[in-house]
Amino acid sequence: MSKEFDEKIFCLAKELKLPYTSKFFKDDISQANTESKSYESFLFDILEKEYDLRKENAIKNKIRNAKFPYKKYIEDLIIDDLPSDAKNKVTAFSSLDFVEKGQNIILAGNPGTGKSHIAIGLGIKACVAGYSVLFTTIPLLVNELKESRSNKTLRTFEHRFQK
């Protein structure tokens, strides 16, 4: 392949916002030639890798936009250390059925009982499942509510939570 074609492919991939293709097309073309892949197989492979990269980036963006204070995963939670009433519910919450049903959950209890870990873990699991999440605490929520009332942006604040 000529250098001129390489530059054109790179420019087109950049313009079309195909980050995987613009970065790895030379390697993929070389591998396709070595393995004598058909055009269809080559095209499928490169599009599948582009799709996987976009899906992975979407999950990373959802997790970043959720504003978690740190990353905790529900799978890392030691269920035996939780209070008895939480033990039963964590498994049910982990299925994310409450999200599908449009239900909310409120985690309340003493400090150090795993509320934040559960909330962040469920939030990250929801992000991976494709949901948009916003992590907040009651004090932050109350402050934002007061500020939006004083700035007369309460309607915008309400719409954000309706989404």
Angle at 122 between CA 120 and CA 126, to 5 degrees: 115
> What are 149-159's pLDDT values in tens digits?
777 777 777 77
- Whether 1 has a pLDDT exceeding 60, the answer reads no
CA distance 62 to 68: 10
CA pseudo-torsion sign 129, 130, 131, 136 = positive
Name the pLDDT band for 47 (thresholds 50, 70, 90).
very high
> What are 85-135's pLDDT values in tens digits?
777 788 888 899 988 888 888 888 888 888 888 899 999 999 999 998 988
- Whether 40 has a pLDDT exceeding 80, the answer reads yes
Cβ atoms of 133 and 126 closer than 8 Å: yes
Cβ atoms of 50 and 33 closer than 8 Å: no
Cβ atoms of 67 and 134 closer than 8 Å: yes
Highest mean pLDDT among 53-67, 77-91, 99-113 belongs to 53-67
Mean pLDDT, the chain, rounded, equals 87
> What are 18-35's pLDDT values in tens digits?
999 989 988 999 999 899
Cβ atoms of 114 and 86 closer than 8 Å: yes
3-class DSSP state for residue 12?
helix
pLDDT of residue 75: 87
- Stretch 136-156: mean pLDDT: 80
pLDDT of residue 149: 75
Q: Identify which of 152, 100, 143 has the alpha carbon closest to the alpha carbon of residue 125.
A: 100
- Whether 81 has a pLDDT exceeding 90, the answer reads no
pLDDT of residue 36: 92
Cβ atoms of 83 and 150 closer than 8 Å: no
